[in-house]
Amino acid sequence: SWEPLPHWDSARWCDLCEALCLQLVDIQWKLGMAVSSDTCRSLNCPYVMVMLKVADPSGQICQKSFEMTIPQFQNLHSHFKDIAAVMETV
Amino acid sequence: MATVVTAEHFSNLQLLLKAPSKDAVREVCVQSHQGPSRIFTENTAAKFNISPSQAAQLVESLHTLSRHVVFHNLTSPEQILALFPESFHSSLKNLITKILLENSATWRTEALSNQISLPQLKEMDWRVDLVTSSESVSRMAVPTCLLQLKMEDTRCRHDEAVSTVTMELSRESLDTMLDGLGRIRDQLSVVAGK
């Protein structure tokens, strides 16, 4: 289950991650266009949907789905490029 | 939920003629868009010197009209004026139209951000660690990424709204992620170009 953490606490989070040893095992994504809704007949709203599968050491899989607006997606992409750059140099 | 504005709705809107001021009309139009509330209806009844049931009908009619304007994205005065019956009080019609136009952009933005959706990604925090040894390998230098994503479901109760997912990414997972994100970016360019 997903435990809400009250705030970003680096050391505690690292302990939690190590304790849980959750590994990302699968990523699925979809780029969609919202065309209409009960409040707006005509939308032209792209969004990105992502589903992550995470496994614990026993192999039990949990999945989490979320959506992003395009600016949120671009921010996410930018973060991952930063991570890759760091992992390259480390 | 209804977006059809009926003759009866317009008939109820004429109760606005009892408003003490133009600002009172503006206030009741804006408040009604959010939906009915007992306190608001009672205050309106007192302010306009009408019965609570008349106030409730007025609020409901304004709500239906403003939702209709947002649903159909009516952005010009002509489009909104055309909704009113011929016999409708002319000055009141112009005032209501003006108020609806003043607010419709804000209301549409609110509607867009309150759509049904999955939880939205709000924050991403990460750290890259170098794993230097393990129980099976005494010396190594393997970078690994610790990642935390914070999601928010704005339609949930406050205490249930935020959830986090925390995970470790290997280099391979990261490459897969980047590959997927790159494809999304490419698709977005295709869609934007159309």
Interface test with B, best of A1, A17, A65, A70 (most B CBs within 10 A): A17
Whether the CB of A12 is below 8 Å from some CB of chain B: the reply is no
Confidence check: pLDDT of B54 > 80: yes
Percent of chain B with pLDDT over 70: 96
Q: Which two tokens stand for residue A71?
A: 């600016």
pLDDT at position B13, please?
A: 96
Q: Which of B47-61, B118-132, B157-171 has the highest mean pLDDT?
A: B47-61
Q: Which of residues 26-45 of A touch B (CB under 8 A)?
A: 27, 29, 31, 33-34, 37-43, 45
Confidence check: pLDDT of B131 > 90: no
3-state secondary structure of B30: helix
Q: Which domains does chain A have, with CATH numbers?
A: 23-89 (3.10.450)
pLDDT at position B194, please?
A: 63
Confidence check: pLDDT of A55 > 70: yes
Q: Which of residues 152-191 of B touch A (CB under 8 A)?
A: 162-171, 173-178, 180-182, 184-185, 187-188, 191
Residues ≥6 apart with Cβ < 8 Å to B10: B61, B84, B85, B88
pLDDT at position B126, please?
A: 92
Confidence check: pLDDT of B102 > 70: yes
pLDDT at position A3, please?
A: 45
Nearest CB to B111; choose among A5, A40, A77:
A40
pLDDT category at B2 given cuts 50, 70, 90 is low
Chain A, chain B: beta-carbon pairs less than 8 Å apart? 153
Residues B94, B100, B105, CA angle at the centre, nearest 5°? 140
CA distance linking residue B111 with residue B74, whole number of Å: 14
Compute how many other C-beta atoms are within 10 angstroms of the C-beta atom of residue B39.
7
A4-15: average pLDDT: 51
Q: How far is B189 from chain A (nearest CA, A)?
A: 11
pLDDT at position B136, please?
A: 78
Which amino acid makes up residue B158? Answer: H
Contact list, B174 vs chain A (CB under 8 Å): 80, 83-84, 87
CA distance linking residue B187 with residue B182, whole number of Å: 9
Q: How far is A11 from chain B (nearest CA, A)?
A: 11
**What value does the mean pLDDT of chain B take?**
90
Across the strands, what pairs with B130?
A: B143
Confidence check: pLDDT of A16 > 60: no
Across the strands, what pairs with A47?
A: A32
CA distance linking residue B109 with residue B122, whole number of Å: 18
Nearest CB to A87; choose among B120, B143, B187:
B143
Contact list, A16 vs chain B (CB under 8 Å): 166
pLDDT at position B69, please?
A: 96
Torsion of CA A36, A39, A45, A50, to 10 degrees: -90
Which amino acid makes up residue B69? Answer: V
The answer to whether the Cβ–Cβ distance between B176 and A27 falls below 8 Å is yes
Whether the CB of B114 is below 8 Å from some CB of chain A: the reply is yes
Backbone angles phi, psi at A50, to 5 degrees: -130, 140
Q: Are B109 and B33 in contact (CB under 8 A)?
A: no
| Maximum Cα interatomic distance, chain B, rounded to a whole number of Å | 89
Q: Which two tokens stand for residue B23?
A: 């600002």
Q: Which of residues 55-84 of B touch A (CB under 8 A)?
A: 67, 70-73
Confidence check: pLDDT of A66 > 50: yes
Nearest CB to B111; choose among A5, A39, A72:
A39
What tens digit of pLDDT does each residue of B26-45 get?
999 999 999 889 999 999 99
Q: Which of A9-13, B160-164, B186-190 has the highest mean pLDDT?
A: B186-190
pLDDT at position A70, please?
A: 92
Compute how many other C-beta atoms are within 10 angstroms of the C-beta atom of residue B42.
13
Q: Which two tokens stand for residue B21?
A: 């001021």
Q: Which two tokens stand for residue B114?
A: 């309150």
| Exposure b/e, B147-180, CB count within 10 A at least 16 = b | bbbbbebeeeeeeeebbbbbbbbbeebbebbeeb
The answer to whether the Cβ–Cβ distance between B128 and A86 falls below 8 Å is yes
Confidence check: pLDDT of B128 > 60: yes
Q: Which two tokens stand for residue A85?
A: 């750059």
pLDDT at position B60, please?
A: 95
3-state secondary structure of A62: strand
pTM higher than 0.80 = no
ipTM > 0.90 for the complex: no
H or E element: which one contains B161?
A: helix B158-161
